[in-house]
Amino acid sequence: MSEGVTIALSKGKLLPPTLALFRQAGYSAYHVQDNDRRLILEYPEHGHRVLIVRPSDVPVYVEYGAADLGIVGKDVLLEQSPDVYEPVDLRLGICKLVVAKPNGQVPMQRLSSKLRVATKYPNVTERFFTQQGMPVELIKLYGSIELAPLVGLADRIVDLVETGKTLKANNLVEEEVIAWSSARLIVNRASLKMKHATITEVISRIKEQVTKGQSEKRPKKGRQR
Ligand code: PRP
């Protein structure tokens, strides 16, 4: 059996496709029941231990070495800028980080006073508006961000958009795209040296599946008959 590695997976929307990807990559035992409350899952047949972690905590576990590897959205990495190695874009959980506003509200440059922006991503938001030369007042929230402009708490929000249904349902419209996001495999820098063989094997198996998935999605070349 190979040396043990600990992998922190993001719970929530990313968990089912992440587990499916690991199974396709040959880690067949990767299963979690819907009502499973365990936070540590042991897969001795693969030499893996899996931690089920809040997405925003995954970089912390990996940076501090409590996990050797992790799966987390690029949105979280942009916000936290952890000192980790980021070798694979899993092309799962694709979404965008946007500035959004109530439908019909004036564009940003025509507002005279400082904009109030509600977000779960204060660092990304501050960087974006600073680059625009536009000082803003940040309001940090932890969820249901779309509510803030509806009740006068904020003029704008910065949040993730996947299908666009939440914006539409709350009569909000996208104003600017700040960045695209997808799930990334991240690695603790010291672990990569200390557990090199096992970690490079995980990386290459996952990369292979991602490449396979991409080529299956691409339209076949050749003449149509
Ligand atoms: C996320 C995000 C948006 C929504 C976007 O929220 O913050 O609210 O999904 O998805 P859509 O474009 O497909 O509608 P999440 O469901 O994670 O809950 P939260 O608002 O409590 O963070």
Residues 6+ apart with CB under 8 A from 123: 78, 79, 80, 81
d(CA 49, CA 67): 9
Mean pLDDT of 44-67: 95
Q: How many CB atoms lie within 10 A of CB 120?
A: 20
Instruction: Ligand 1, residue 12: give the atom nearest the CA.
Output: 17
According to DSSP, residue 108 is labeled: G
Structure confidence at residue 220 (pLDDT):
61
Q: CATH number of the domain at 95-180, please? A: 3.40.190.10
Bigger pLDDT: 33 vs 153: 153
| Start-end of H helices in 72-195 | 74-80, 122-131, 147-150, 165-169, 189-194
**Matching CATH topology for 5-93+182-217 and 95-180?**
yes
Backbone angles phi, psi at 79, to 5 degrees: -75, -40
Residues 6+ apart with CB under 8 A from 136: 114, 115, 116, 117, 125, 126, 129, 156
Q: Is the pTM of this model over 0.85?
A: yes
- 166 Cα–ligand 1 center, Å: 7
Q: Which CATH fold topology does 5-93+182-217 show?
A: D-Maltodextrin-Binding Protein; domain 2 (3.40.190)
Mean pLDDT of 171-193: 98
DSSP string of 193-216, one letter each residue: HHTHHHHHHHHHHHHHHHHHHHHH
Q: What is the CA radius of gyration of the chain?
A: 20
Bigger pLDDT: 129 vs 221: 129
Helix (H) / strand (E) containing 52: strand 48-53
- 43 Cα–ligand 1 center, Å: 31
Domain ranges (residues) in the chain: 5-93+182-217, 95-180
86-90, 137-141, 214-218: segment of lowest average pLDDT: 214-218
Instruction: Ligand 1, residue 144: give the atom nearest the CA.
Output: 20
Structure confidence at residue 67 (pLDDT):
98
Q: Is the dihedral of CA 74, 76, 78, 82 positive or negative?
A: negative
3 confidence band (pLDDT: 50, 70, 90): confident
Instruction: Ligand 1, residue 165: give the atom nearest the CA.
Output: 14
Structure confidence at residue 43 (pLDDT):
86
Ligand 1 binding pocket, CB closer than 6 Å: 143-146, 159-166
1 confidence band (pLDDT: 50, 70, 90): very low
Q: What percent of the chain shows pLDDT beyond 70?
A: 93
* Buried residues in 197-218 as b, exposed as e (16+ CB within 10 A): ebbebbbebbbebbeeeeeeee
pLDDT in tens, 58-72: 999 999 999 999 999
